[in-house]
Structure 1
Amino acid sequence: MADDVLTWLLDSDPALRWQVERDLAGEPEPVWRATRARVATEGWGARLLALQDPDGQWAGGAFFPKVDGEVQWPAEGEGQPWTATTWSLAALRDWGCDPAALADTADRLAQNCTWEYDDLPYWGGEVDVCINANTLASGVWLGVDVEALAAWFPAHQLDDGGWNCEWVEGTTRSSVHSTLNAVRGLLADEVATGGSDELRAARHRGEEHLLARRLTRRLSSGAMLEPCLVPPTAPSRWRYDVLRALDHLRSASLLDGTDPDPRAADAVELLRAGRQPDGRWLQGPVQPGAVWFPVDVPEGEPSRWVTLGARRVLAWWDRA
């Protein structure tokens, strides 16, 4: 990597910098851990923690903001707001914030936060695969007993090995978006708790569902999956793209002690093709919706988050 690209990546918020130090710069563990510890007290992490409501929520709601208990549904064309509890927890988790900085957040959410769907308790999840995957990952991160929610995933895995958030409407064909979110949630649970043979088998089936399609193609026709026609975006939140899929496979292979699966080669080359002559990657189309504050650049500009992710994935792939 060119020195100027590495310098550019390191000149960033602690939430991003510690990952550059660990995964790209080869800094010793005490160095990147010291930077990671700053996430809760400096920059984006400190700002987002300061926006937490006294009852443990953000923006007054689980998935959508609420005002005086009334859900603030977005107007047509506004896009999903990204300020409520689920998205705020996911951001802090992805940034590497020390869960100790959230003190009794898990208990406060158990007491005060319910889903917009049927007013269900927050840590029990609801019916949406992507929501439940995010909740599972945040739960194990904060030390919540979410074993029952983890068991929900193999019970709702479709016959083709994946998942679909529209299963409640009778859909029997899996979605790459839902499947990727499900395996990410299961991996987070396994890293935190050790998992179980049943949950590990469900994760592997979901990963096989994606790999059978080479992460990029429809199994039936071989046509390119529509999400793969969209360049990676940061934050990606729930959306499928080749970087997010490859980043999961990288994490899974490191946990499982396996080599990269050669069926991911097409996705790797799609990702590699996004590298600009200066060694950076550009931001893809940013998902619309209200945010607390921006953590990356507008579409078309060089993105530190996308560059970090792409560099990290390609280093893993190329080493093998």
Structure 2
Amino acid sequence: MDVVAWLLDSDPALRWQVLADLTDAPADEVAAERSRVATTGWGAALLAEQAEDGRWDGGTYRPGWAREDLPFFDAWTATHHVLQELVDLGVDPASPEVRRAVERVRENVRWEHESEPFFAGEAEPCINGVALRTTASLGEDGSAIAATLLRTRLPDGGWNCWAEDGTAVSSFHSTICAVEGLLAWERTGDATPEAAEARASGEEYLLARGLFRRRSDGAVADPRMTMLSHPARWYHDVLRGLEHFRNAGRRDPRLAEAVELLRGKADANGMWHLDSAHQGPCWLDYGEGEGFPSRWVTFRALRVLRWWDGG
């Protein structure tokens, strides 16, 4: 099977990225396909679910129906997660449909934490990292979120959403969210040198652990970090980590084990399977089940390996 042809036989959100990153298609062809994301398929479906008040499913981080007295569980239908997914799909931030959605969020949406404006962020670094990437990618001012991330960095160079007293060690999950957000903010040209230094320290935290091992004894920190997922949500895994370093253009020998782990997961047809689906209510069904070949995971894996092997 021609794997690239299989990937291209898909939604505009995946197709434009395959054209750009695996086939080196002309820029005008890539742009034309990307322009369809907000009006056709997955991207259009997500945008259509936004209410007039700017929110998705009646909430910012949690949907409006998720009662605070119930045990915490993941639900991916609220505003924060939908905007993250739209960025993953690569919607053109300049498209009229996206601008309308962003304006509704800017004018109306507040965090449940202390009613902070959405594009000012809230308190937890895992949330703020994702929100900063979203904010920067959609052309909004992320300076307030970036400043909060800088204040909440831990002495070991990373972040942890549970470190309220500042004494805990960092976590892979919070740190990958933070460095992704800081890189997106740097790419806008508005970030401070302190933000770049913080990103570098967070990357060092991940590199020192090979993206999935404990630094203390070299053991696998969590088997789920070796399992490939899509969408990644707030979770860290080796593919997400490798994608960040590809995006940052930072090749480091400490990534080699994670690269070979990823390479070894290809099946006989040159496809990668969805190892882990992060459970919870969501708007989109990508038609991909755990244990089966995944277009998204395959594309992301091929993109990483093309970068790594290309030197």
Q: Which of 222, 225, 243 matches 2:221? A: 225
Q: Which of 184, 191, 202 matches 1:188? A: 184
Partner of 2:32, secondary structure, is helix
Deviation at 1:238, TM superposition (A): 1.1
Decide whether aligned partners of structure 1 residues 19 and 160 sit closer, same or farther in structure 2, where only a CA change above 3 A counts. same
Cross-structure match for 1:290 = 281
Cross-structure match for 1:205 = 201
Partner of 2:35, secondary structure, is helix
Cross-structure match for 1:302 = 293
Cross-structure match for 1:177 = 173
Deviation at 1:107, TM superposition (A): 3.8
Matches within 5 A, 1:255-294: 258=250, 260-294=251-285
Cross-structure match for 2:89 = 95
Decide whether aligned partners of structure 1 residues 302 and 74 sit closer, same or farther in structure 2, where only a CA change above 3 A counts. farther
Deviation at 1:74, TM superposition (A): 9.4
| Structure 1: runs of 5 or more not aligned | none
Larger relative helix fraction: 1
Cross-structure match for 1:136 = 132
Letter in 1 for 2:51: D
1:19-69: CA deviation from partner (whole Å, max 9, x where unpaired): 1111112211111111111101110011111111011111111011115xx
| Structure 2: runs of 5 or more not aligned | none
RMSD of the TM alignment (CA)? 1.8
Identity of aligned residues (%): 46
Cross-structure match for 1:245 = 241
Letter in 2 for 1:318: D
1:258-294: CA deviation from partner (whole Å, max 9, x where unpaired): 5x10110010011111010110000012111001121
TM-score (norm 2): 0.94
1:84-143: CA deviation from partner (whole Å, max 9, x where unpaired): 101111111111112232224334323322222233332221111111112112222232
Count of aligned positions: 309
Matches within 5 A, 1:114-133: 114-133=110-129
8 Å CA contact retained: 1:281, 1:302? yes
Cross-structure match for 1:157 = 153
1:64 aligns with 2:62: yes
Deviation at 1:244, TM superposition (A): 0.2
Letter in 2 for 1:91: E
Deviation at 1:75, TM superposition (A): 5.7
Partner of 1:103, secondary structure, is helix
Letter in 2 for 1:11: D
Deviation at 1:217, TM superposition (A): 1.5
